[in-house]
Amino acid sequence: MIGDIVGRPGRQVVKELLPDLRQHYGLDLVIANAENAAGGFGLTLATASELLDAGVDVMTSGNHIWAQQEIIPHLDGDMPILRPLNYPSGVPGRGYIVNNQAMVVNLIGRTFMGDVDCPFRAIDQLLTEGKHKPPAIIVDFHAEATSEKVAMGRYLDGRVSAVLGTHTHVGTIDTQLLPQGTAYVTDIGMTGPINSVIGMETEDVVQRFLTGMPHRLSVAKGKTMFSAVLVRVDKDSGRAMSIVRIYKEVE
């Protein structure tokens, strides 16, 4: 799974690196959080198609999925784009998908994130539904608070194959296998410009902090990072066998 892809620099590094990574590791499934792929906010039809052509199989999202209005009609279409499962009923799109014998689930946290339904109860309901589910279940938990992410990992330990955190754009060092066989990381980190504030031009963000006033944010340029995790899952039991970081820098 590839961490939050930020703007054109993030898309470019995915296009540059992913084909070789798929071949080198023999990847069965590539998931990417794409909610910042279009100019740093949201996802468009063109940017979604670009990532699919690069080798991404499923695109997850979070609080910025609604930033580009043009993508909303496609959330109920054939494109493998997810919005968080725990948005209220009646919201466009879907919160999970089955792809290549794996279920991918998208959740969003509530702490510092706004008013959504409880992610813990939403995933409970999904996991206890009578529908057939493949053994491999991968959860992208798009959340701000590390405590909420860690709690979700522990809550789902042994019930899903992996709980992989996104949203903060800052990778954490806690890749691990939890006691009951679930792979976990608090945040994968971003795929985007290194010399930036979480992908955005530094001066734009600093002005916001200095003045407390709205200030337009632009995606930064220059050297780019590629942040991902590689999870190996037993296809019969759904238990994770390993989780390792894949981190690369591209000029």
Q: Which is nearest to 164 in space by CA: 144, 149, 181?
A: 149
| Residue 215 annotated among the catalytic residues of the structure | no
Which positions ≥6 away from 227 have C-beta within 8 Å?
2, 3, 171, 188, 189, 190, 191, 245, 246, 247
Catalytic annotation, pick one of 24, 64, 74, 132: 64
The sheet with strand 96-99 has its strands ordered as: 96-99, 102-108, 136-142, 162-166, 183-185, 176-177
Q: Which amino acid is at 79?
A: M
Q: What is the DSSP string of 1-64?
A: -B--B-HHHHHHHHHHHHHHHHHHHT-S--EEE-TTTTTTSS--HHHHHHHHHHT--EEE--TT
Whether the Cβ atoms of residue 6 and residue 193 lie closer than 8 Å to each other: yes
Q: Which residues are catalytic?
A: 64
